[in-house]
Amino acid sequence: MGFLQLLVVAVLASEHRVAGAAEVFGNSSEGLIEFSVGKFRYFELNRPFPEEAILHDISSNVTFLIFQIHSQYQNTTVSFSPTLLSNSSETGTASGLVFILRPEQSTCTWYLGTSGIQPVQNMAILLSYSERDPVPGGCNLEFDLDIDPNIYLEYNFFETTIKFAPANLGYARGVDPPPCDAGTDQDSRWRLQYDVYQYFLPENDLTEEMLLKHLQRMVSVPQVKASALKVVTLTANDKTSVSFSSLPGQGVIYNVIVWDPFLNTSAAYIPAHTYACSFEAGEGSCASLGRVSSKVFFTLFALLGFFICFFGHRFWKTGNLKIFHDDGVFWVTFSCIAILIPVVFMGCLRILNILTCGVIGSYSVVLAIDSYWSTSLSYITLNVLKRALNKDFHRAFTNVPFQTNDFIILAVWGMLAVSGITLQIRRERGRPFFPPHPYKLWKQERERRVTNILDPSYHIPPLRERLYGRLTQIKGLFQKEQPAGERTPLLL
């Protein structure tokens, strides 16, 4: 009996579970791929397409299933049939299908494959829903699938945009789906709400294992609510599209939960992920981020930062609230804050100069560190530049991760700023104000001229006489030249 107990403990300790869902490992080359509801499965897909997948023993209270398959950057295809058709298959790094079950149906089959040359490591799962749950993508009018639970993601340097199809109300097996546009009352799909969630992967980690591990937290409704950050809630009247600030090299997972407030039921779309960079070799690739001329930027930013931070006082002598999505409100607020600080310190310019040099100089060091070790602190300035350079960036949510390395770099920034400010204050103690106050310089110069009669500037004629003399000179330029010759009578 003791041996059996030890064996059970060993088996339980060796299992990898996420929210009660076991991970099953396999290979598609073994033949038919069998799935179980709610259990993650890892497997490898190889050419040629397709591989058949199957689910047995579907419960009678399940009205529809959502199958999803994920890979890091290589495309995979999931299809209802062995023949690929645009309205019955989906291809991408995060692809899935909705299976509307017929009465008495207890088995479901579909097909998987990849068109890539290299084998693709995948993770897949099936989730079941009842007739009370809303159907993600059930009122699709934009994309190819009749019912499309997928999230479509596009990105550029400035922003990442996700799009998805509207959902429909749930319905029983063998019943026609509710009409999508028959009305806008509370008995139609217009009562549905959409919660958009964002989840950050660990910074500076582009491994496939890390992505697939954390994707398990973004699949089902309870996991998404517990793990991710809710960014915005959309109603049926809103456009099913949301933009975020792009974070090149940072893994981000997005998902949408559709909620029926009348029945208090929910369903999750198929999560999509991005690194805002390409895993293919070339310009803009994830491997090249932070490496192009990184050493040069570090001889520059680090030296400049240290110099400004500790000696900048003498050197300088020679901005997710919805309201801020409006450019006018954002730039007026930004300008007011930028002007307010100098106004507050106008009476003590030396302190203002020292504080500015200490904070900005130490932040230059942070930017230099970002060339080697990615940090979210660089987006303090980068997001403002994006807002100024891109006219559509106002609609993007600018959330960034704040993880362990960010806390470390923030501490370095604070230490450099405090030490730089302290050093400059001690160096300037007892010295004359530098640079001197312009008004005091003008006042001293005026008093000197009044009291010092030996100063040549003291003998400068008044302004009125100087203007009259200048006009006389100009008038002389237009007078006729006198004829040459002797004008006095000859002396006898």
pLDDT value at position 214? 95
pLDDT band at 297 (very low <50, low <70, confident <90, very high): very low
CA 188, chain centre distance (Å): 35
| φ, ψ for residue 340, nearest 5 deg | -60, -45
Residue 97 pLDDT > 90: yes
Tokens at 36, concatenated: 């179980």
Residue 454 pLDDT > 80: no
d(CA 277, CA 193): 31
How many CB atoms neighbour CB 461 within 10 A? 10
Tokens at 468, concatenated: 């009259």
Share of the chain above pLDDT 70, in %: 78
pTM reported for the whole predicted model: 0.72
Residue 225 pLDDT > 90: yes
Instruction: Report the run of H or E that residue 34 belongs to, with start and end.
Output: strand 33-35
Range with lowest mean pLDDT among 261-270, 331-340, 371-380, 443-452: 443-452
Mean pLDDT of the chain: 80
CA distances for 48 relative to 27, 93, 463, angstroms? 14, 18, 95
Nearest by Cα to 151 from 198, 112, 193, 95: 95
pLDDT value at position 435? 60
pLDDT band at 446 (very low <50, low <70, confident <90, very high): confident
Q: Which amino acid is located at 121 in the chain?
A: Q
pLDDT value at position 19? 38
Residue 2 pLDDT > 60: no
Q: What end-to-end distance do the CA atoms of the chain give, in Å?
A: 159
Residue 16 pLDDT > 60: no
Residue 161 pLDDT > 90: yes
Q: What is the pLDDT of residues 188-209, one digit of tens each?
A: 899 999 999 999 999 888 899 9
Q: What is the pLDDT of residues 126-153, one digit of tens each?
A: 999 999 999 999 999 899 899 999 999 9
pLDDT (average), residues 169-195: 89
